[in-house]
Amino acid sequence: MRHGVDIMVLKSTGYLENLYNFYIQHLTELNSVYEILSDEESKKVYLAALKGKLTQRIADFRFAPEPQYFLEGFLPAEGDIAIDGGAYLGETAVEFVKQGAKVYSFEMDVLNYQKCLPVADKYGFTMENFGLSNQEGEEFYNSNGYASHKGFGESIAKFIDLDTYVDRKNLPRVDYIKLDIEGSELDMLHGAAKTISRWKPKMAISAYHRPEDLWTLVAYIKSIRPDYEFKFRDYGSSSCDWEIQKRNILKKFNTERFVPTEWEMVLYCR
């Protein structure tokens, strides 16, 4: 877009027609979330996200200027206990440590976990080779770097619900939760209901892996704690090592490493 190029995501007309019909079926829920959002910017971003998902034009989305998960007023503070769900390579956990938080970081994929261990040792946060879910157990998952997710695949991972983890580790409280766990966010919230009800932690939750994330996450959180405030932002970029980056194409055209996408929407709660 910076060079006058209109970026579009290639999706079939059948996919877009189904998505449109799905949104139409849930207009009541979408409107409810729109009305709940606490600032005008959130409402503009939310409407832009819906439009962009249907047109697949990157220019129709409304992207936020701050780093992902770091909206002012929704950050872990000095001395906070923070849960980092979906560590990947540990970058976000490091930033939370720099905010002064005591961080417990969870990574389901064993390869990502092993890469995170030296980072955790260096910066002093706790690294757990668990996925966060609605209950304790084991499940198959697909090992795919930043996009590893449970549900199918040949690898087996251990999962734990946050309420059990908090009790087992004797945590005095939870002040902050960040989630980016590839579509398992709602499952995790079900497994954290006691924690959320008791301490009302600030939260930054990925809200783009499933179409229904745009309303089901808010509805469930409100069912636990009706006094939550919500904001919505779209970061539209991926920090992953795409092949295009490895070929220095971005450097050649003097553009950013972060490529605009239809992903990376975050629901903020406090």
Asked whether residue 37 falls in the same domain as residue 121, the answer is no
Asked whether residue 43 falls in the same domain as residue 104, the answer is no
Asked whether residue 196 falls in the same domain as residue 93, the answer is yes
pLDDT in tens, 83-103: 999 998 899 999 999 999 999
User: Can you give the pLDDT of all 270 residues of the chain as single tens digits?
Assistant: 555 556 556 667 788 999 999 999 999 999 999 999 999 999 999 999 999 999 989 999 999 999 999 999 999 999 999 999 999 889 999 999 999 999 999 998 889 899 999 999 999 999 999 999 999 998 776 666 555 556 666 778 899 999 999 999 999 999 999 999 988 899 999 999 999 999 999 999 999 999 999 999 999 999 999 999 999 999 987 544 444 444 454 555 555 555 677 889 999 999
With H, G, I as helix, E, B as strand and everything else as coil, classify residue 5: coil
Q: Is residue 71 part of a domain?
A: no
| DSSP per-residue codes, 51-110 | HHHHH-BGGGS---SSPTT--TTSS--TT-EEEEE--TTSHHHHHHHHTT-EEEEE--SH
As for how many domains the chain has, the answer is 2
Asked whether residue 42 falls in the same domain as residue 123, the answer is no
Q: Could you list the residue range(s) of the whole structural domain that residue 17 is in?
A: 13-60
pLDDT in tens, 35-65: 999 999 999 999 999 999 999 899 999 999 9
Q: What's the CATH number where 89 sits?
A: 3.40.50.150
- Copy the structure tokens of residue 104: 């417990």
pLDDT at 149: 59
Asked whether residue 161 falls in the same domain as residue 94, the answer is yes
Q: Is residue 76 part of a domain?
A: no
Whether the Cβ atoms of residue 50 and residue 262 lie closer than 8 Å to each other: no
Asked whether residue 21 falls in the same domain as residue 102, the answer is no
pLDDT in tens, 167-189: 999 999 999 999 999 888 999 99
Asked whether residue 102 falls in the same domain as residue 197, the answer is yes
